[in-house]
Amino acid sequence: MAHRRGTEIIVGLFMVAGFLALFFLAMKVGSLSAYRTTEGYRITARFTNIGSLKARAPVTMAGVRVGRVEAIALDEETYEAIVTLHIERQFDTIPMDSFASIFTAGLLGEQYVGLEPGGGGEFLHDGDQIGNTQSALVLEQIVGQFLFSKAEEGSE
C-alpha cells in the first residue's frame, strides 16, 4: 500500500512538472514572457494588408529586435491597417525614409515587422509615420493567382 502511494506521488509530481514545462513553452512561443514595457517612442505605419500580424509581434532591423507591435487599427476612410510600433529608446537613429515590411518567420508562421534603414539624415521621433511600407504576402492569394494563370494557359 505504501509503495503504491509513493508511486502515485511521483507520477503526480511528474505531471505537474510536465504542465509547468508546457506553460513556459506556450509563453515563449506566444512571445508573452519577453513582453515588457520599456522606455521608447511610438511610430506608425500604414499597410494595405497585414496578414496575421498581431500585437506584441517583434519589430526587427537587420535581424535584431528593436521593438514590438503595440496596436493595430483600421482606418475607416482609407481601409488601411494602421500599425503602431513601440521602438526601444536606444534605437533612436532610425532614418525617416526607412521601409517597413511584414515578413513571416519560422515554422509556426509568426509574422513580424522588418525595418530597412533609409539613407536620409533625419531620424524618426515619437508620433512620426513611416511612409514606405510593403504589405504581407498572403500565400492563398499567390497560390490562387498561380492556379488561375495555369487555368488560362490550359484553355488556350
58 CB-side CA count, 13 A: 20
SS3 9: helix
What integer pLDDT is reported at residue 33 of this predicted model? Answer: 46
Contact 124, 43 (CB under 8 A): yes
Range of lowest pLDDT (25-34, 36-45, 87-96, 127-136)? 25-34
Task: Give the residue extent of every domain in the chain.
Answer: 1-30, 40-144
What integer pLDDT is reported at residue 1 of this predicted model? Answer: 64
Which residues, other chains included, contact 29 with Cβ-Cβ below 8 Å and sequence gap of 6+? Answer: 108
> If you average pLDDT over residues 57-68, what whole number do you get?
94
Q: Could you read off the pLDDT of 100-119 as tens digits, one per residue?
A: 999 988 666 789 999 999 88
Contact 61, 84 (CB under 8 A): no
Residue 122 Cα to chain centre, angstroms? 26
Q: Residues of 28-38 as b/e, b for ≥16 C-beta within 10 angstroms?
A: eeebeeeeeee
Phi and psi dihedrals of 117, rounded to 5?
Answer: -70, 140
The whole-model pTM stands at 0.69
Q: Residues of 60-93 as b/e, b for ≥16 C-beta within 10 angstroms?
A: bbeeeebbbbbeeeeeeeeebbbbebbbeeebee
